[in-house]
Structure 1
Amino acid sequence: MHSRFFIPQATPSRRQALALLTLPVAAPLASPSWAAGVAAAATAPLPQITLAGPPALVSAPLMHMAQSNALQGVAQRTVFTAWRDPDQLRMMAMGGKTDVLAMPSNVAANLHNRGAGVTLLNISTWGALWVVTRDAQRKALADFKGEEIAVPFRGDMPDIVLQVLAAKQGLDVQRDFRIRYVPTPMEAMQLLITRRVSHALLTEPGVSLALRKTQSFPVGLAAPTLHRGADLQQEWGRVFARAPRLPQAGIAAVGALREQPAVLAAVAQAYARSVAWCRANPMECGQMMHRYIDLLTPEAVADAVSTSQLDAVPALAARGDLEFFFTQLMARNAALVGGKLPEAGFYAAPASA
């Protein structure tokens, strides 16, 4: 089944980058061998499990789970729907119509701390943020001092990562840069491609899509138009003397599904397998994402898969990295994570439990 995504006209209240559509599950592509371990605990499969995520790599495994009917042991039907911005994400998390959401890690903590009923299953996006630039000589964040940078999602990821990294280097985002906030990553990319800005903070696969659209990739062209400038993962590792990995986003269970450990185990295990499938089959992953979100080209997604740090780490195993990350955010604005570090109940038990 094929579905179209389109760019709607701007309105005075909000410019939309993508129109989003829930897609029903396709016929199964494979029969999951893991089902026996969890199906016994789920004697009555749920009628449907709804997965949701943004037009980013963190959603690719969710799309694959829906397309391959990977949860057939615990649900009769699996669907994927997309969210377009953090406001819609928050409404979906509290609306009771979605079961599993891909979301930024700080949003998951914030919702949990505010009593919204969120259990983190894993962190899978560990590195997907770059300042894309027209100036090949600008390689570090400090090189952009005084420059205008298009930044999406004011007050959310990736803006907050930019703020933390700037502050750690003695820079102030508002004073030392000219930030042009835009509602969505796609709009930041479009400003860059149409030469209305020279630099934009983008996340994959938007980075690779911008490079592909301007014929700046594959590497080797005589005069590429755009370049990967500051790698925020490398900046993070350098300024904090840590591994260049950011616990940026993962998946979380919301609502009543949180009370069904066998289903949560099946979701976590299926997601990890779908991450492995995406990494082993980057072009097929790109073709799949293109069917769901036709603005994303297969080639750009394949580039993004090979470049990004896509690794499904269980929530408990990621807790140390998350708490360090949350602590840095809280030093700037405690409200970013709901005023405190999440307690142990935020982190799902291991899928094998």
Structure 2
Amino acid sequence: MPHDGMQGSGGMTRRRFLGFLAACAAVAAAPRSVAGNGAATLRLSGPPVAETLPLLRLVRTGALEAQGLTAAFTPWNSPDQLRALAAGGQIDAAVLSLAAAAVLSNRGLPVTLLALTAPPLWIVSSDPDLESLEQLEGQTVCLPFGPGEMPELLLRALSARTGVSYSLQHSGGGLETVLRLLLGKVRHVFLSEPAASLAVARSRESGGVLLEKRIDIRNAWAAAFPECPLLAHGVLAMLGPMSRAQEAREVLGAAYAAECGWVAAHPREAAALAGECYPALAAQTVEGLVPGTDIRLVMGEAGRDASRAFLRILLEQSPEAVGGRLPGPAFWGAAG
């Protein structure tokens, strides 16, 4: 997943972001918009990853209407765009990284987790002999997005724990990273799904250098951090004043979990839904499927414990990555 921290490669800086929050305080306190049928409208958002598909399904089917809610969807394609949407009070719930949700919470935006996920993350490489993180010693890994975003945070935490030293190079996003790899400008890249599978498929189509998913970051993390083996780094979170609406949180959380099951059971229909609703996600389909549709929900106390442990590790490595402290209890109020 193109997850994020708080400092991108350009665009919205921390200072501008804090200014956004202050300027939009009145917006955040405003009543929720109401559709013509009298139902409150939840404004949903997500990046071009499989975990967004359940939100598209909710909007398309009107699954929330029986609970007095309607849903609308706005995609986000970069961390800066996500921050602008959140700070501007333009979205009520979003798929994003756990670290980004923590930063938003610690910067004064009400945030409550509805679901935790453990999306797949890969080192995709043209090196046929690459099998472990240790073999990246002294090499360069290209990352989607800029300094301070989730890919860098994860690899720096792994480097600090394992002692493996590698150089990190940044790009503008997952598809740009794939292109650099296909053109032979880099040998190793960090990618989430579906970009990782797309890179592998494109290399086979081109007849050039063969790429493979070589290192499963989730496995590397479990080996490096046995005290926190479950890498629950993705979330669906309610943002802004709606995060205080317990009934809406419960309805959306339950509906999202149900639609995750539908996506896993109907991968081709889910890919067709992406084609209709989210071109940037549909562009990453492989053989008519969106890789990663077997969404791994991390539920209950195990999920809360894993997420707290993960944030503590990031806090120790880079306090600014989570906003300087762990979020308060309300942050985890509905997760699991």
Which range, TM-score by smaller chain?
Answer: 0.7 to 0.9
Separation in structure 1 between the aligned mates of residue 131 and residue 38 of structure 2, nearest angstrom: 51
Q: Within 5 A, what are the aligned runs for 1:297-308?
A: 297=285, 299=287, 301-306=289-294
**Which among 232, 238, 256 is matched to residue 247 of structure 1?**
232
TM-score in terms of structure 2 length: 0.82
Deviations 1:47-86 (A, max 9, x none): 4221101111221111111122111124553221111111
Secondary structure of 1:165 counterpart:
helix
Residue 122 of structure 2 aligns to a residue in which SS? Answer: strand
Q: Against the structure 1 CA distance between its residues 341 and 50, is the aligned structure 2 distance closer, same or farther, given a 3 Å change threshold? A: same
What is the CA distance between 1:223 and its match in structure 2?
9.5
- For residues 303 and 183 of structure 1, do their structure 2 counterparts lie closer, same or farther at Cα, with a shift above 3 Å needed? closer
Structure 1 equivalent of residue 268 of structure 2: 283
**Aligned pair in 2 of structure 1 residues 45, 212: CA closer, same or farther (>3 Å)?**
farther
- Of the three residues 75, 79, 89, the one matched with 2:82 is 89
Report 1:292-331 matches (<5 A). Answer: 292-293=278-279, 294-297=282-285, 299=287, 301-306=289-294, 310-314=295-299, 317-331=302-316
Alpha-carbon shift at residue 179 of structure 1 (Å): 2.0
- 8 Å contact kept, 2:92–2:238: yes
Report how many aligned residue pairs link the two structures. Answer: 299
Offset of residue 343 of structure 1 = 1.7
Letter in 2 for 1:208: S
Pick the structure with more helix per residue: 2
Say whether 1:165 aligns with 2:158: yes
Task: Name which of 135, 138, 160 aligns with 2:130.
Answer: 138
2:115–2:236 Cα contact (<8 Å) kept: yes
Q: Structure 2: which 5+ runs fail to align? A: 1-9, 12-36
Residue in 1 that maps onto 2:29: none
d(CA) in 1 for partners of 2:307 and 2:288? 29
Secondary structure, counterpart of 1:201 in structure 2:
strand
The partner residue of 2:93 within 85, 93, 100 is 100
- CA offsets 1:110-158 (integer angstroms, 9 cap, x no match): 111221111111112x131111001121011111122222112221112
Which residue does 2:168 correspond to in 1?
179
- Gaps in structure 1 of 5+ consecutive residues: 1-12, 15-43, 217-221
Looking at structure 1, the residues matched to 187 and 302 of structure 2 have their Cα atoms a distance apart, in angstroms, of: 39
Is 2:144 the counterpart of 1:152? yes
**1:21 corresponds to which residue?**
none
Segments ≥4 residues shifted beyond 4 Å = 314-317
* Cα shift at 1:184: 1.1
Higher relative contact order (CA 8 A, sep 6+): 2
Q: 1:30 aligns to what?
A: none
* Preserved CA contact (<8 Å) 2:112 2:333: yes
1:211 maps to 2:203: no
Partners of 1:202 and 1:296 in 2: how far apart?
12
* One-letter amino acid of the structure 1 residue matched with residue 199 of structure 2: A
Q: TM-score, normalised by structure 1?
A: 0.78
Q: 1:311 to 1:52 in 2, by over 3 A?
A: same
Q: Which moved more, 1:294-303 or 1:196-205?
A: 294-303
CA distance in 2, matches of 1:244, 1:333: 19
| Alignment partners' CA distance in 1, 2:189 and 2:91 | 32
Q: Percent identity?
A: 29
Question: Structure 1: how far apart are the matches of 2:224 and 2:144?
Answer: 23
SS of equivalent residue, structure 1 residue 318: helix
What corresponds to 1:37 in structure 2? none
Is 2:197–2:286's contact at 8 Å kept on the other side of the alignment?
A: no
Q: What is the CA–CA distance in structure 2 between the aligned matches of 1:316 and 1:295, rounded to whole Å?
A: 36
The 1-side partners of 2:173 and 2:247 are apart by 36
Aligned counterpart for 1:229 among listed residues 214, 234, 251: 214
Looking at structure 2, the residues matched to 323 and 118 of structure 1 have their Cα atoms a distance apart, in angstroms, of 15
